[in-house]
Chain A
Amino acid sequence: MTDASVPDFDGCGSSGADQRIRPAFLLVYLLLGVAFGVVLTRSEVLSWFRIQEMFHFQSFRMYGIIGSAIATAAASIALIKASGLNSADGKPIVIPRRPLGSGIQYAVGGTIFGMGWALTGACPGPLFALIGNGVSVMTVAVLSALAGTWAYGWLRPRLPH
């Protein structure tokens, strides 16, 4: 992750396929997003209270949710790989892997993110779902998160990765 000019993989959201998307597919992404927002809300994982409960080790709930989400995703990926399925756009499914490098960016960046996760009680998805839930002050948290992302982009050449 030293070559900033390559927008290949930002690590969170984009994949190798860099092609314009047909409008019909955008509608599918919109509906999937709606479903995700509903799940985040009804499962209560967007709640600051649930995050505090987790970091105080006072309930198994969040660990069960995260653990079973990983297990479900891992089993699905294994099934997809074993079946050799293509995605709906007809291409073989590939999951880009992040380069390890020195690992510093993951350890330090992860720790910084974790502090923000506990303070806001929300990771990026829940921040937006909370605005939808009517917690309008979270728009300030989102603007601040954008400032944080921008600050990283500015400091990036000087940070160890």
Chain B
Amino acid sequence: MMTWFNAEWPWYVAGPLIGLFVPALLLVGNKTFGISGNLRHLCSAILPSRLEFFRYDWKSTGLWNLVFLAGVLVGGFLASHSGSPHAINISPATVTTLRQIGIHDFSGVVPRELFTWNALLTLRGFVSIVVGGFLVGFGAAYAAGCTSGHAISGLANFELPSLIAVFGFFAGGLAATYLILPFVTGHL
């Protein structure tokens, strides 16, 4: 019975399941699916400041979403502790491409060359974790949305701002993939 859960989910199962969170949140409480608003709520809650961007009632606006986010963390824990761990089955072409930039450990969900506490002290690890994280937070706040808020909720609602944002997501992603990552791994 657990075989379907352990198997690699095909895209046509994974995608619709993700899409269903949009109507689920609308039906439960008229909420728009989007994760990155939580970064703003957390700033508002943890770092009291005079900045207007963070001066609002985060409890009434965002408590539901912070609770949802806490669930995401728990869900990640439960899913990784149930079922058998296995390497991510990426295409052979990607394995070849990544070997060329010095990635050789394909056993985990993320490469150990970049995402460990030791790697944090290397240029490539620092750029991947610290610089990357900063850009995620800055960019999502500036664009007023992330992958969930723009690419899924916004595009599904046919919003032009979201289409512009998603073009930006890919432009930036390609730039980082083809220029920044090879540069910081010393393989540009």
Q: Could you tell me which A residues sit within 8 Å of B by CB distance?
A: 1, 4-5, 7, 10-21, 25-26, 28-53, 55-56, 58-62, 64-74, 76-77, 79-80, 85, 87-89, 91, 93-100, 103, 105-125, 127-138, 140-154, 156-157, 159
Contact = CB atoms under 8 A, between A and B. Distances in A.
Q: Is the interface of A mostly helix, strand, loop or mixed?
A: helix
A91 B157 CA distance: 19
Contacts of B52: 4-5, 153, 156-157
Contacts, number: 575
Given A42-B9, A115-B175, A156 B37 contact: no
Contacts of B20: 72-73, 76
Interface of B: 5, 8-9, 11-43, 46-47, 49, 51-57, 59-65, 67-80, 83, 88, 90-91, 93-94, 97-98, 106, 108-111, 114-117, 119-120, 127-162, 164-177, 180-181
Given A66-B15, A117-B173, A128-B72, A148 B134 contact: yes
Given A70-B151, A146-B39, 5 more contacts: A13-B38, A47-B109, A76-B20, A98-B162, A142-B133
Contacts of B12: 64, 68
